[in-house]
C-alpha cells in the first residue's frame, strides 16, 4: 500500500480459521524473490477468482415456492408460470441460476411474491421484465 507497488503472486496456503470478531484470516502468497518483500510483511490484496458464464436473474425475481427457490416466467400472452430453480452464486444484485430457466426467459422482478401460477400480468408502460441472461460470475 505505502509504496504503491503492485506484485503478482499465487495463494500457497490458507489458514484454517478466521477471527470471528474481525472476520480476518491469514492467507500465504508466494511472490518472486525479486519483489523486495520481506517475510512477515502485511499487504492489502485483491484476489482474482475464476469466473464462468452462467445464467443470472435479478435477486428480486426469486420467490419461495413449496419451500424451494423459484421465479415466475411470463409467456407471450402475459400468463405467468412458476419455475423452480437451483441457485448459485450471488453477486451485484444478481443470482446465478444452475437449472430451471432458459436464457431469454422473461421473469417477473417486482411483485412476484403476490403472484400465483397462471395469473395474467402486463408489463407497465416504460418497463420491461428482466430476461434471464448469461453473465460472468465469480466462483
Query: What Cα–Cα distance (Å) separates residue 105 from each residue in 56, 64, 73, 126, 139?
Result: 11, 19, 6, 19, 24
> What would the pLDDT profile of 50-84 be if each residue is shown by its tens digit?
777 788 999 999 999 999 999 999 998 989 999 99
Per-residue pLDDT band for 138 (boundaries 50, 70, 90) equals very low
Give CA–CA dist 45/10, Å, rounded: 11
pLDDT in tens, 17-26: 888 888 888 8
What are the boundaries of each domain within the chain?
1-48, 51-138
This prediction's pTM: 0.60
pLDDT confidence tier of residue 118, bands split at 50, 70 and 90: very high
Q: Does pLDDT of 9 surpass 60? A: yes
The class that CATH gives domain 51-138 is: mainly beta
DSSP string, 31-94: E-GGG---TT----------EEEEEEEEGGG-EEETTEEEEEEE-TTSBEEEEE-EEEEEETTE
Q: What is the pLDDT of residue 137?
A: 46
% residues pLDDT > 90 (the chain): 30
Amino acid at each position: 500500500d505505502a509504496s504503491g507497488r503492485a506484485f503478482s503472486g499465487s495463494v500457497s496456503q490458507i489458514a484454517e480459521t478466521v477471527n470471528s470478531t474481525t472476520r480476518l484470516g491469514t492467507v500465504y502468497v508466494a511472490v518472486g524473490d525479486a519483489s523486495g518483500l520481506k517475510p512477515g510483511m502485511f499487504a492489502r490484496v485483491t484476489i482474482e477468482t475464476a469466473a464462468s458464464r452462467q445464467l443470472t436473474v435479478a435477486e428480486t425475481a426469486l420467490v419461495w415456492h413449496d419451500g424451494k427457490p423459484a421465479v415466475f416466467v411470463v409467456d407471450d400472452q402475459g400468463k405467468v408460470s412458476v419455475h423452480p430453480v437451483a441457485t448459485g452464486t450471488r453477486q451485484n444484485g444478481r443470482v446465478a441460476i444452475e437449472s430451471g430457466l432458459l436464457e431469454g426467459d422473461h421473469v417477473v422482478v417486482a411483485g412476484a411474491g403476490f403472484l400465483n401460477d397462471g395469473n395474467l400480468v402486463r408489463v407497465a408502460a416504460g418497463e420491461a421484465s428482466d430476461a434471464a441472461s448469461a453473465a460472468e460470475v465469480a466462483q
